[in-house]
Amino acid sequence: MSKSYFDETHCAIGHPKSTFMQWMLTIDHKRIGLMYAAVMFTFFFVAVSTAFLMRLELLAPGSQYIDGDTFNQAFTLHGVIMIFLFIIPGVPAVLGNIVMPLMIGAKDVSFPRLNWFTFWLYITGTIVALASLFTDAGFADTGWTFYAPYSINTSTNVIFTLVAAFILGMASILTGLNFLVTIHRLRAPGMTFWKMPLFVWGIYATAWIQLLATPVVGITLVLAIMEKYFGIGIFDPAKGGDPVLFEHLFWIYSHPAVYLMILPAFGIMSEIIPVFSRREIFGYRAIALSSASIAGIGYLVWGHHLYTSGMADTAKVIFSFLTFFVAIPTGIKFYDWVATMYKGKIILSTPMLWALGTIITFTIGGLTGVTIAMIGVDIHLQDTYYTVAHFHYAMLGGVVFLFFAGLHYWFPLVSGKMYNETQAKIAFYLQFVGFNLLWFPMFIAGYYGMPRRYFDYLPEFQIYHQVSFVGAVIFITGLTYMFVVFFKGWRSGEPSGTNPWNATTLEWHMPSSPPPLENHSKVPYVDFNPYEYHHGEPVVKFDYETMKRID
């Protein structure tokens, strides 16, 4: 059997003999992506547990298991882990790293050593973030947004979290930079921008946001540290500063950041839909350009987080108007996906199920987002469970669902094995039902005025919290089961072969499964579109030894 990337690797320093050190020092993009996945999903489960703790506390009004201060720390921990440790690096660091170079026919990313360094920078960030859990002052209780002046005045260890967010931001910038150069420089000969798979387009748009928005939040966090520990006064009203300025600077990054999360996820959707419909994607250029325009417009909408902050009315109207604009390219994408499926030969494998589920959940998440982009409605719904539900429908029901879709889709590529499809589908249905049961009642509770981040509530809201709790139990069951299915597939799955889905993009044209160390045996010449199907069969065929076309 030929050697795969599990058997051999290039290292950043020297040629270590031990397998452990080979993994620690590896510069192979596939191994680095796998390590990201391992770390990220560990933290993901920590954050899920924190969320479940909050659900448990909210099962009945009044204090059950934890006090209010602990609850504040719990939602901060949940937010910080989910946002900074999981979902922002998420799809690019894991699937972007593993799949993107394969898709463009490159041997690795442009700066493999920088990639290695970035991974360890990320690890450093996670350690700093969680270190404060074990200090006397305890974890930050500010929420993941660190709003001034509370973050300036609280006695909890905000500095750890701020420094960690800065380091993780650096890691994010470097990942984006690496991918930008890779996509510009290392595409296989013949592959123009219009021949790139749409996942690569998603990663490309994301990389620009990572590069152009993250420095702003980086410096904002530095300024917040300067404010808290050196009293420079710019965010503290007691010293002449303006706390709303912090909100502006924070959201200038953090709103584009949600597009940074969703764009690569949309890229996954654009891969899965044509493959499992056995049809060329409808509106390739429209989808590619809508990614770019979401990235562009997403930059100009941050003010919709500040409707209740006392911002000028003119600014509110402009921000509201611009926010509606984001819905247009997003809508274009969804119509294109649906149009791709029209008259297609739809195969309901697990990745496709996840993608279809996401079309439902993200549509709810997206449209509720449009409602709270309206100023009048938002004044009523700001900081209620409605916003929380919208956010989770878009992020969990959009980004994470598609992330899971991508995991199912590329699992055979990465491991060379196949998970049990039936069991994976059961896991999907459990999570889909649990998810909707968990979050949908929150729309109603929020509409009736249940405020977010409260650890107590009026008895009339109890029914919604109880339904949510049941949903949470089902969802977490499905989630755990899904990872059990993955684990079993990894340990004892059937060998999948190089192209189990009959897909067309380059990452499925490997000489062996799992792929060898330096990817394709030869770099192919790309003179075809990414999704060419004819009568439900892939058009382009390769001799995997010479990478010459044989169709």
Contacts of 127 (CB under 8 A, 6+ apart): none
Cross-strand pairs, 232? none
Q: Phi, psi (5° rounding) for residue 301?
A: -120, 5
The encoded tokens of residue 89 equal 């690096």
For residue 337, give every residue at least 6 positions away whose Cβ sits within 8 Å of its Cβ, in sequence order, or none: 269, 270, 273, 282, 359
The C-alpha atoms of residue 89 and residue 164 are separated, in whole angstroms, by 14
256 or 366: whose CB is closer to other proteins?
256
Which positions lie near other proteins, rule CB under 8 A? 106-112, 114, 173, 177-178, 180-182, 184-186, 188-190, 211-212, 214-216, 218-220, 222-223, 226, 230-234, 238-242, 245, 249, 252, 522-525, 527, 547-549
Which lies closer to other proteins via its Cβ, residue 40 or residue 191?
191
Q: What angle do CA 243, 245, 248 make, to 5 degrees?
A: 120
Contact 431, 354 (CB under 8 A): no
Q: How far is the CB of 129 from other proteins (least distance, A)?
A: 21
Nearest CB to other proteins, comparing residues 108 and 378: 108
In angstroms, give the least distance from the CB of 232 to other proteins: 3
CB of 25 to other proteins, least distance (A): 15
Nearer to other proteins by C-beta: 162 or 249?
249
Cβ neighbors of 492 (< 8 A, separation 6 or more) are: none
CB of 523 to other proteins, least distance (A): 5
Question: Would you say 380 or 548 has its CB closer to other proteins?
Answer: 548
- Nearest-10 crossing angle of helices 243-277, 284-297: 170
Q: Which is nearer to other proteins, 83 or 523 (CB)?
A: 523
How far is the CA of 314 from the CAs of 171, 303, 321, 468, in angstroms? 37, 11, 11, 38
Please report how close the Cβ of residue 324 comes to other proteins at its closest, in angstroms.
26
If 0-12 CB within 10 Å is exposed, 13-18 middle and 19+ buried, where does residue 245 land? middle
Given a contact cutoff of 8 angstroms between Cβ atoms, the answer to whether 449 and 384 are in contact is yes
Q: Write the CB contacts of 148 (distance below 8 Å, at least 6 apart in sequence).
A: 224, 227, 235, 236, 241, 243, 246
CB of 259 to other proteins, least distance (A): 17
CB 455 to other proteins: min, Å: 33
Nearest residue (CB) to other proteins, 13 versus 317? 13
Shortest distance, position 365 Cβ to other proteins, whole Å:
29
Q: Closest distance between other proteins and the C-beta of residue 60, in Å? A: 45
- Closest by Cα among 303, 169, 166 to 226: 166
Q: Which amino acid is at 472?
A: A
Using the minimum distance from each CB to other proteins, give the nearer residue, 240 or 459.
240
User: Minimum distance between the CB of residue 107 and other proteins, rounded to whole angstroms?
Assistant: 6
**Which tokens sit at 259?**
């597009």
The CA distance from 182 to 33, in Å, is: 15
| Minimum distance from residue 521 beta carbon to other proteins (Å) | 11
Q: Which is nearer to other proteins, 188 or 359 (CB)?
A: 188
**Of residues 110 and 361, the one with the C-beta less far from other proteins:** 110
Residues whose CB falls within 8 Å of the CB of residue 84, separated by 6 or more in sequence, listed in order: 125, 129, 144, 164, 165, 168
User: Is 74 or 98 the residue whose CB approaches other proteins more closely?
Assistant: 98
DSSP code for 534: E
